[in-house]
Homo-oligomer: A and B are copies of this chain.
Amino acid sequence: MAADGAHPLPTVLAVLGRGLVDPDEPALRADDAGVTRGDGCFEGCRVVVDGSGTADVAKLDAHLARMSRSAARLEIDFDAAAWRELITLAAAAWPQPGEAALKAVLTRGAGDRPTGFVWVTELGADIPRQRREGIRVVTLSRGMPVAAFSDAPWLLGGVKTLSYAVNMAAAREAQRRGADDVLFVSADDPGYVLEAPTASAVWATGRTLVTTPPDATGILAGTTQALLFDAAAAAGWRTDCRLATVAELHEADVLWLVSSTRGPVDVVDLDGTARRRVPEIDAEIRRLAGFAVPGS
């Protein structure tokens, strides 16, 4: 169950076609296209284990649906029933009550056989602080105008691929600038708000929640953002999906980065400009997204 802080170690590993295996044993060939080409897709999910030890994988249907779309775009076979079974198996093997992070990875594999595995590990060490204190965010260009993705399916807009080297480099750039996370903007002038390396952007102006339209802009359709918008609409919020500039974000009442394991975390500093926190709105949005009030 140990983790070394900066790099938590996986403590449960299940491999497609094999089931639970020792997570400390190597599981991939060196010529797996997942490592040689970043050629595959993944999902990151939240596991919640209740006091009786029963594990729930939040939004499992939505994650399987998105992974199926990613795999289809990559032309890699995906058997949703087998993946449901593998994810459920891995989650059930996680022994600690509370939250955990689950990752499901599908690669083109080596030879003609895709590789699939699921691991469950502790929540990222920074998540409790980020939920409590909010996050400092810098905007960085993603280098692409939103129109680039029209009629260019090979650019893999909307596909959650394993090719995240730029996302990780952007996260390091944020740390270098003293920030917790990145908000990517398009290469248009002015740039449009896209998404974070591992999260969607959502903002509130009055009783309207807004996010960036996925797919056509190249960004991922966020599963937590979708769940939140459905719940918010049912609770009387207006919801909107549209292109916006960073200037508009500065005008919004609250801005969140929203992801499956971290949940919605409010942005307290955007490009060096402090943002006022609005605890009552923030608490409502976290609750609607299925996450507890910070500190509770």
Binding site for B on A (CB under 8 A): 4, 6-7, 9-10, 13, 15, 23-40, 42, 73-75, 103, 105, 107-108, 110-112, 117, 119, 121, 140-145, 148-149, 152-156, 159, 161-170, 172-173, 187, 218
Contacts and interface: CB of A to CB of B under 8 A. Distances in A.
Given A27-B26, A111-B4, A37 B168 contact: yes
A229 to B, nearest CB: 27
19 contacts: A4-B111, A7-B110, A15-B30, A25-B26, A26-B26, A28-B28, A35-B162, A36-B105, A38-B38, A140-B152, A143-B143, A145-B145, A153-B169, A154-B166, A154-B173, A155-B169, A161-B165, A163-B163, A163-B166
Contacts of A37: 38, 162, 164-165, 167-168
Nearest to A109: B7
Given A15-B30, A35-B107, A73-B169, 11 more contacts: A4-B112, A10-B30, A10-B31, A31-B121, A37-B162, A38-B165, A108-B168, A144-B187, A153-B169, A155-B166, A159-B165
